[in-house]
Amino acid sequence: MVGRVGIPRQSASRRTRRMRAILVKTLVYLVLLVGSSALLTPFLWMVSTSLKGYDQVVASKFTWIPKPVVWSNYTRALEFIPFWRYLGNTVLVTSMCLIGALSASAVVAYGFAKLRAPGRTALFGVLLASMMLPGQVTMIPVFVLFQRLGWYNNLKALIIPAFLGGGAFNIFLLRQFYMTIPNELCDAAKIDGCSNLGILVRIVAPLSKPALTAVGVFIFVANWTDFFSPLIYLSDQEKYTLALGLRLFQSLHSTEYSLLMAASIVFSLPILVVFFLAQRYFIEGVTLTGMKG
């Protein structure tokens, strides 16, 4: 874009270019392989530990391949806590929160990004400010409030807040993405008689698929792994979620490490699957190619 008038680049020999492309690709692979093997190591370590017997867990010499492989750790881990019940609770809470928070934040962010109104800037400041007070000091008043609302020991305490805004982080993130969408697109639709809801659903949301997917992943992970809200709001063990159940493997004085690792892996797998499936939208979501300029 800048300067560089003069010798057209086209004249650079095709061969050098090809060579460079191959070189770059090799380099990319190298970095990816080295990096991912470094990042996989702890995961493999978890897998390895999850398949070890007691004596191997504490052996002074660390081995990667357990001998013998104790598959029964997994069945024991799933029996250690009411796994299927907790899984059901977790799936219920996470999916409700996903629906609520994603739709709410998508709509709220649209307001902040595309609609003018007196007070918008100030309210946006308030939105950001709402993330700046450590939750440790609002926890008690929030608890008292939820309790008075009758949400104590009820999944409502975990689900309803998701529908009310969907989280300042997500709103802010989506607003940033909506802001990059040219206003002409919205204006053109408006001239065609499209309502704001129509613009959001037909233009802004489809163009923001990558961002919406990313936010969806964040909401999913945040709720799937949330330990704190279930801890303080649920007092019936039957209502526990998996994140809370996972803590039951660490007791006061002793920890069943193999079982903890087995349970952690089973716990994390759905997140990895969701991520793996969702990421096609980071890439294949509609790009703005050719739509402007």
Partner 1 sequence: MTREIDCTSPGKADSGRRGLSRNAVREARDFYLCILPWLVGFSGLTLGPMLVSFYYSLCEYNILQPPTWVGLANYVSIFTDDPLFWTALYNTAYYTFFSVPLGVAGSLALALLLNQAVRGVRVFRTIFYMPSIMPAVASSILWIWLFNPQYGLVNRALSLVGIKGPLWLADPVWSKPALILMGLWGVGGGTVIFLAGLQGVPRHLYEAAVVDGATTWQQFLHVTLPMLSPTVFFSFVMGIIGSFQVFTQSYVMTQGGPLNSTLFYVLYLYRVAFEFFQMGYASALAWILFVILVTFTGLQLRLSRRWVYYEGDLRR
Partner 2 sequence: MRQVLRLLALALCLSLLATITTAQAAVASRAPVEIALWHDWTGEGGDGVVAVVDAFNKSQSNIVVKATVTPDLGTKLLASVAGRVPPDVVLFDRYMTGQYASRDALTPLDTYIARDKMDPGAFFEACWNETVYRGKVYSIPFETNSRVLMYNKRLFKEAGLDPSKPPETWDDLVRYSHALTKRDEKGRLVQVGFVPIWNGVSLVHYLWQCGGDAFNADATRVTFNGPEGVEALEWVVSLVNYYGYDNLVSLAAGFGSHLSDPFYTGKVAMKSEGCWMLSDMRRYAPNLVANDLGVAPLPRGKVRATIAGGFSLVIPKGAAHSDAAWEFIKFAVSKDAQILFARKAGTIPALKAAALDPQVAGDPLLKPFIDAMEHARYRPVHPAFPEVESYIYQAVDKAVHGEMSPEAALEWAAGRAQKVLDRYNRHLRR
Write out the residues near partner 2 by the rule CB under 8 A: 49, 54-55, 57-60, 62, 139-140, 143-144, 147, 152, 227, 231-232, 235-237, 244, 247-254, 256-257
Scan residues 144-163 and list those touching partner 1 (CB under 8 A).
145, 161, 163
- Phi and psi at 121, nearest 5°, equal -60, -45
The residue assigned the tokens 């349970």 is 263
For partner 1, the binding residue among 72, 75, 153, 176 (CB under 8 A) is: 176
The distance of Cα 256 from the centroid of its chain, to the nearest Å, equals 28
Look at residue 43 and give the partner it binds from partner 1, partner 2, none, a contact being a CB closer than 5 to 8 Å depending on partner kind: partner 1
Scan residues 243-262 and list those touching partner 1 (CB under 8 A).
246, 250, 260-261
Scan residues 10-69 and list those touching partner 1 (CB under 8 A).
25, 28-29, 31-32, 35-36, 39-43, 45-46
Rg for the chain, CA atoms, rounded: 25
Give the Cα separation of 175 and 165 in Å (integer).
Answer: 13
Q: How far is the CB of 236 from partner 2 (least distance, A)?
A: 7
Report if residue 211 touches partner 1, rule: CB under 8 A.
Answer: yes
Look at residue 161 and give the partner it binds from partner 1, partner 2, none, a contact being a CB closer than 5 to 8 Å depending on partner kind: partner 1
The DSSP bridge partners found for residue 250 are 255
Residue 163, Cβ neighbours under 10 Å: how many? 14
Q: How far is the CB of 219 from partner 2 (least distance, A)?
A: 24
Q: Which is nearer to partner 1, 238 or 283 (CB)?
A: 283
For partner 1, the binding residue among 123, 202, 206, 228 (CB under 8 A) is: 123
Q: How many residues bind partner 1 (CB under 8 A)?
A: 106
Report if residue 126 touches partner 1, rule: CB under 8 A.
Answer: yes
Q: Which is nearer to partner 1, 68 or 293 (CB)?
A: 293
Q: How far is the CB of 98 from partner 2 (least distance, A)?
A: 25
Q: How many helices (H) and strands (E) does the chain have?
A: 16, 0
Concatenated DSSP letters of 177-238: HHTTS-HHHHHHHHHTT--HHHHIIIIIHHHTHHHHHHHHHHHHHHHHH--HHHHHH---GG
Between the CA of residue 192 and those of 186, 196, 204, 267, what are the distances in Å?
Answer: 10, 12, 16, 49
Are 228 and 94 in contact, with CB atoms under 8 Å apart? no
Scan residues 216-235 and list those touching partner 1 (CB under 8 A).
217-218, 221, 225
Are 80 and 269 in contact, with CB atoms under 8 Å apart? no
